[in-house]
Amino acid sequence: SISSIVQKLQVEHSIKMGIKQLHKLLRPMAQTRYQIDRSWSGKRVGVDAMCWMHRGAVACAYELLLGKETDKFVRFFMDMVFMLLWNGIIPIIIFDGQDLPAKQEEASKRRQEREEARDKVLDASRKLGDGRAALDINVQKNATKAIKISVEMIERILAALRELNIEFMVA
């Protein structure tokens, strides 16, 4: 049960983000991503918006990094919403609130790693040209590492959710 898993989690006051091994602990109770239990129909489900945003951004990481116009991350996000709706599940999309002071050091480290990956992509783009760089596997890996979910990206998702009257909240 969830309560037994929570008891197993001894969340320390740490500067690390998230809860280490949470997915591993929850996996036995989770459905695989391709199996949606129809008994969930009519139920409300909380969804981590940033998780879906990051997954959607992977599909267009290079374009986002270069500032090119793309809606791939919005389409991915909304496809996930539609999948839930199609199965009668009512999504409640939960966005992260402001950064917590205890996580500043980890956030700073991640920001530095994103900037380093971004610099590698821009350097490769200058050397290879946009077309060849976009096809290079190392460039794609670094573009994925450089993903930063911007306020503008969040606003685009919020606009799509509002248009469909999908409930959302900020944690």
C-alpha–C-alpha distance, residues 4 and 37, integer Å: 22
Regarding whether 67 and 13 lie in a shared domain, the answer is no
Q: Quick one: pLDDT at residue 43?
A: 92
Regarding whether 50 and 23 lie in a shared domain, the answer is no
C-alpha–C-alpha distance, residues 27 and 10, integer Å: 18
Regarding whether 108 and 24 lie in a shared domain, the answer is no
Cβ-Cβ contacts under 8 Å for 120 (sequence gap 6 or more): 138, 139, 142
Total domain count, the chain: 2
Local confidence band at 15 (pLDDT 50, 70, 90 cut-offs): very low
Query: Is 79 part of any domain?
Result: yes
Q: What is the mean pLDDT of residues 82-94?
A: 94
Regarding whether 98 and 120 lie in a shared domain, the answer is yes
Q: What is the mean pLDDT of residues 83-91?
A: 94
Q: Which range, 36-50, 127-141, 145-159, is most confident?
A: 145-159
% of residues, the chain, pLDDT over 70: 79
pTM: 0.75
Query: Is 166 part of any domain?
Result: yes
Regarding whether 72 and 100 lie in a shared domain, the answer is yes
Query: Is 35 part of any domain?
Result: no
C-alpha–C-alpha distance, residues 25 and 30, integer Å: 10
pLDDT in tens, 39-60: 889 999 999 999 999 999 999 9
Average pLDDT, the chain: 82
Domain that holds residue 2: 1-30
pLDDT in tens, 27-42: 676 655 556 777 889 9
Q: Quick one: pLDDT at residue 130?
A: 73
Q: Tokens 């919403």 correspond to what residue? A: 81
